[in-house]
């Protein structure tokens, strides 16, 4: 059993592109498999053959479609406060755009809907970003800029969580000042 046509890379990319475009145009609710197939010029079965659900397509589109913030290491100016500010400000600004907000909401809906999507996204999106943050924090701890017993994973999750909370409440989008306050709080405490 050797034969068989190979998977079409053209179709794969057309599907991810279509999903990304439709997501940004109309949000997760408006996104349908029929629309993706139509826009991509592809049969529905070609989608179902390779992805198990709408959420899985969205996750892939986010990861490969260039939707998400690129996964670049945090800058290391030597000063942890400066670097965390920069990182959090960049995300904050990303989440100020309709595109950034829509994406996170879509991914959140997909995550809350479907455990398998949650796992994929955690492994390939959330976890890597969190890891970059942890790496920078560990280096800061090594350099004596953080307490030797500073709970690095907790710091990372708190920083990310505060962003998430802002997006999900769907009230005012987070501002640069908010970002700075969070960094100051996490580094300096409120006591």
Partner DNA sequence: CGATAAACGAGACGGTACGTCACGTCTTCAT
Partner DNA sequence: ATGAAGACGTGACGTACCGTCTCGTTTATCG
The residues that touch DNA, with contacts defined as CB under 7 A, are 1-8, 10-12, 14, 30-35, 37, 41-46, 48-50, 53-54
Decide if residue 24 touches a copy of itself (CB under 8 A).
no
What distance in Å separates the CA atoms of residue 171 and residue 166, rounded to the nearest whole number?
A: 7
Q: Residue 53 binds what, of DNA, a copy of itself, none (CB under 5 to 8 Å, by partner type)?
A: DNA
- Is 115 a residue that touches a copy of itself (CB under 8 A)? yes
How many residues belong to the site for a copy of itself (CB under 8 A)? 49
- Contact between 120 and 59 (Cβ < 8 Å): yes
Q: What angle (nearest 5°) sits at the alpha carbon of residue 80, between those of residues 132 and 82?
A: 105
Shortest reach from residue 28's CB to a copy of itself, in Å: 7
Q: Assess 132 for contact with a copy of itself (CB under 8 A).
A: no
Residue-wise DSSP of 114-159: -HHHHHHHIIIIIHHHHHHHHHHHHHHHHTTSS-TT--HHHHHHHH
Rg for the chain (alpha carbons), in Å?
19
Among DNA, a copy of itself, none, the one that 103 touches (CB under a kind-dependent 5 to 8 A) is none
Out of 2, 5, 147, 172, the only residue in the binding site for a copy of itself (CB under 8 A) is 147
C-alpha distances in Å from residue 164, one per residue of 4, 9, 149, 152: 45, 34, 26, 19
Q: Is 31 in the site for a copy of itself (CB under 8 A)?
A: no
Count of beta carbons in the 10 Å neighbourhood of residue 184: 14
User: What's the closest the beta carbon of residue 146 comes to a copy of itself, in angstroms?
Assistant: 5
Q: Is 106 in the site for a copy of itself (CB under 8 A)?
A: yes
**8 A C-beta contact, residue 143 and residue 98:** no
| Residue 2: CB atoms within 10 Å | 3
Environment class of residue 117 by beta-carbon count within 10 Å: exposed (0-12), middle (13-18) or buried (19+)?
Answer: buried
Of 151-180, binders to a copy of itself (CB under 8 A) are 151, 154-155, 157-158, 160-166, 168-171, 178
Binding site for a copy of itself (CB under 8 A): 3, 27-29, 43, 105-106, 108-109, 111-115, 118-119, 122, 126, 145-147, 150-151, 154-155, 157-158, 160-166, 168-171, 178, 181-182, 184-191
């Amino acid at each position: 059993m050797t034969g068989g046509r190979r998977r079409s890379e053209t179709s794969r990319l057309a599907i991810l592109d279509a999903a990304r475009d439709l997501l940004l145009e109309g949000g997760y609710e408006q996104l349908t498999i029929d629309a993706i197939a139509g826009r991509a010029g592809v049969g529905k079965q070609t989608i179902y053959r390779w992805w198990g659900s709408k959420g899985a397509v969205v996750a892939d589109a986010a990861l490969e479609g260039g939707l998400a913030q690129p996964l670049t290491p945090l800058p290391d100016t030597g000063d942890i406060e400066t670097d965390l500010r920069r990182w959090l400000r960049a995300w904050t600004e990303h989440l100020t755009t309709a595109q950034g907000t829509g994406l996170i909401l879509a991914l959140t809906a997909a995550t809350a809907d479907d455990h398998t999507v949650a796992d994929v996204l955690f492994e390939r999106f959330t976890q890597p970003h969190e890891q970059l943050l942890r790496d920078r924090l560990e280096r800061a701890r090594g350099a004596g800029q953080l307490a030797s017993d500073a709970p690095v994973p907790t710091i990372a999750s708190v920083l990310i969580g505060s962003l998430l909370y802002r997006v999900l409440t769907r009230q005012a989008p987070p501002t640069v000042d908010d970002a700075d306050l969070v960094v100051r709080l996490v580094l300096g405490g409120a006591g």
